[in-house]
Chain A
Amino acid sequence: MVVWSEQERSIINSIFSSLDYNDAGPKALSRCLIVYPWTQRYFASFGNLYNAEAIKSNPNVQAHGIKVLHGLDRAVKNMDNIKATYAELSVLHSEKLHVDPDNFKLLADCLTIVIAAKMGSAFTPEVQAAFQKFLAVVVSALGKQYH
């Protein structure tokens, strides 16, 4: 079972309550598709992903980035039971979407960069540690139902 300190809970809640989902979501997903281009394999139906500019301005990418980021809300609201909270989503990603779970970490790393860029010096080592711990738990939960 994952144990969260009061400070970690506070950090996670603070990051998400001040998050601009409509900005961070598209930025995180487009960064992932640009920095790790093999992740584009899951978005063949999204249209033009030919270069960085096309990816950044692609409305499907933007909409999906917002959706994915809101997917984290469930974990924020259920920090003590992320594994169970994401059981269904894990099955979805495995059985229906067929996403290699290694990709979850890639998106998590891109989201970390986006948050770091937004927060600047406020993204201290302690804040980074809490945020990455949170994302690691989410990533693990999303991979849990794969068989």
Chain B
Amino acid sequence: MSLTDKDKAAVTTLWNKISKGADAIGADALARMLVVFPQTKTYFSHWPDLKPGSAPVKKHGKKIMEGVAQGVSKIDDLSNGLLDLSELHAFQLRVDPANFKILAQCLQVVIATMFPNDFTPEAHVAFDKFLSNLALALSEKYR
């Protein structure tokens, strides 16, 4: 389900609307993931505080969104554009790829709460495809 030109345009349009709030979006999405899908907490056992609004959650949410931003800028070639992030996730973080889908869902829920008029079904399908392709690129080096 690769990205068409129409998809890329829709993703870029949506991103331009939401990117100023990227830090807050990332923090909220990560916080939600830890609450709604508690099994994801296993990756953060080294954090002192996993509660929504805590410093590690906010900081890491921001970092995740920087990765998404990188994906938007490399939307024409995600596999090659995200090689360093893929290596990080494959060899160091070793996050089970099933979790990418979980985080993607939480990101989209947050965008829906913050930008209900912009996250139309048309924007949703393009963004969902983009996040799926992003996840694929991130798992590129896993095996």
Interface residues of chain A, those whose CB is within 8 Å of chain B, are: 30-31, 34-35, 37, 52, 55-56, 109, 112-114, 116-121, 123, 125-126, 128-129, 132
Contact = CB atoms under 8 A, between A and B. Distances in A.
Interface string B106-122: 00111011101001011
B124 A34 contact: yes
**Minimum-distance CB pairs A-B, first 9:** A117-B116, A125-B35, A34-B121, A116-B112, A117-B112, A35-B125, A129-B36, A125-B32, A31-B121
Contacts of B128: 35
Given A109-B105, A128-B32, A128-B36, A120 B125 contact: no
B113 A123 contact: yes
Interface string B92-104: 0000000000000
A52 B31 contact: no
Interface size class of B (residues with CB under 8 A): 10 to 19
B56 interface: no
A117 B113 contact: yes
A108 to B, nearest CB: 11
Contacts of A123: 109, 113
Given A128-B109, A129-B35, A117 B119 contact: yes
Nearest to B38: A129
A111 to B, nearest CB: 11
B81 interface: no
B36 A125 contact: yes
Chain B residues touching A, majority SS: helix
B122 A113 contact: no
Given A35-B125, A35-B128, A109-B105, A119 B35 contact: no
B116 A118 contact: yes
Given A31-B124, A120-B114, A129-B35, 5 more contacts: A52-B122, A55-B121, A116-B110, A117-B116, A128-B32
B105 A30 contact: no
17 contacts: A31-B124, A34-B122, A34-B124, A35-B121, A35-B128, A37-B125, A56-B121, A113-B108, A114-B112, A116-B109, A117-B116, A123-B113, A125-B36, A125-B52, A128-B35, A129-B35, A129-B36
Contacts of B52: 125
Nearest to B128: A35
Contacts of A126: 35
A52 B121 contact: yes
Contacts of B113: 116-117, 119-121, 123
Contacts of A118: 116
A30 B116 contact: no
